[in-house]
Amino acid sequence: MITPPAPLDSSGAPSSALPGRRMVLGADRPMPLDGGGQLGPFTLAYQTYGTLNADKSNAILVCHALTGDQYVADRHPITGKPGWWEMLVGPGRPVDTDRFFVICSNVIGGCMGSTGPHDVNPATGQPYAIDFPVITIGDMVRAQALLIDALGIDQLFCVIGGSMGGMQVLQWAVAYPERVFAAVPIATAARHSAQNIAFHEVGRQAIMADPEWRDGAYQHAGANPARGLAVARMAAHITYLSEAALHRKFGRNLQSRQAITFGFDADFQVESYLRYQGASFVDRFDANSYLYITRAMDYFDLAAEHGGQLAQAFRVGAKGTPVRFCLASFSSDWLFPTSESRAVVHALNAVAANVSFVEIETDKGHDAFLLDEPEFHQVIRGFISGCADHRGLKRRV
């Protein structure tokens, strides 16, 4: 099996230099894509934590969100920051790596080692850029399934993720119900709303309006649409927070000054914060990957292939789904409000699925699933532990 040429990550270093594992997939049989065409061979970069047991029954797949990656519980190799879900995943954590074998892969289209628009197109010898095929959440999950196959795992004990990760969880439960014992979709929806598509379009237009985008061919030209990507990140980051959280953290406090300047510098702390978020983001993310992954989220609609009936998506033959579900939402999340999770719960109830649901009271907004929320962590610990006991998985000694 030949590994494709090493691409550059968003920092300009070869992505092959990034720590972690890689799997080349689709070499013998390219993977079909929802938009037509196929992809292969392609690479998935992934991390694992814990130990796979003898009968391979303790595997948990963590699915990351739009700007996440495979470093769920590791220090990030570019930013140096702790793993993005280390509060939830690790020894003794709700997703206990002393008991479970945890897998997290960078999605296809990503920029942290998995094949994406920054990679070399073997047909041209140049980066794919916007010649990379448009991908879907279904394609992301199909690639993950090939990885799970390659690891020799027949059924995942659990698939868990928030936001776009939650979309992947739902897609897993619909596309591979017999391969998922339990599913935990968090702060997510069965389809992307018009409002969320609109926010994504603002971000994409910010990137494409940057002269350094070069019609997507910035990598070949040695350029980088950093300003456009930073603005896209700033706009998106606002949606991850709540008004209450912004007010509590910043209010109308001024940034390192006693009075307003009557100019366009960052007078307010919240302005400085957003500028920092944008500037730091461009060090670890690729602009074209941002276009592709946001588009994949926009296209997500589980009910579309079932006559608009979401419940039908969860039917397995004449029966309901065998998957056990736990859905969680957050009261101040206006990006993926509780009503979206309730719609999924109602659809699951319609097919007599085994489903539990909780809305966590918090003012931290959409990002609450990444933060220190004790009630949320208790719910996840209880559900996963209960499912593990039901399946006969041993507790750690």
Q: Is 119 annotated as a binding residue?
A: no
343, burial (CB in 10 Å: exposed 0-12, middle 13-18, buried 19+): middle
Based on the residue annotation, tell me whether 237 is a catalytic residue of this protein. no
Name beta bridge partners: 45.
Answer: 22
Pick the catalytic residue: 163, 242, 329, 332?
Answer: 163
Tokens at 251, concatenated? 């209010």
Based on the residue annotation, tell me whether 163 is a catalytic residue of this protein. yes
- Would you say 141 and 171 are in contact if contact means Cβ atoms under 8 Å apart? yes
Pick the catalytic residue: 9, 200, 333, 341?
Answer: 333
- Where in the chain does DSSP place strands (E)? 21-25, 31-32, 38-39, 42-49, 59-63, 89-90, 95-96, 101-105, 120-121, 126-127, 156-162, 180-186, 324-330, 354-360
Closest CA to 210 of 239, 235, 232, 237: 232
3-class secondary structure per residue, 211-230: HHHHHHCCCCCCCCCHHHHH
Q: How far apart are the first and last CA of the chain?
A: 40
Helix-strand-coil percent breakdown of the chain, rounded to 5?
A: 35, 20, 45
Based on the residue annotation, tell me whether 333 is a catalytic residue of this protein. yes
**175: CB partners within 8 A, 6+ apart:** 138, 141, 142, 145
- Would you say 159 and 173 are in contact if contact means Cβ atoms under 8 Å apart? yes
Pick the catalytic residue: 64, 118, 192, 366?
Answer: 366
Q: Is 28 annotated as a binding residue?
A: no
Count CB neighbours of 377 within 10 A: 16
- Would you say 164 and 65 are in contact if contact means Cβ atoms under 8 Å apart? yes
Q: List, as residue ranges, the binding site for substrate.
A: 233, 367
Catalytic site residues?
163, 333, 366
Q: List, as residue ranges, the binding site.
A: 233, 367
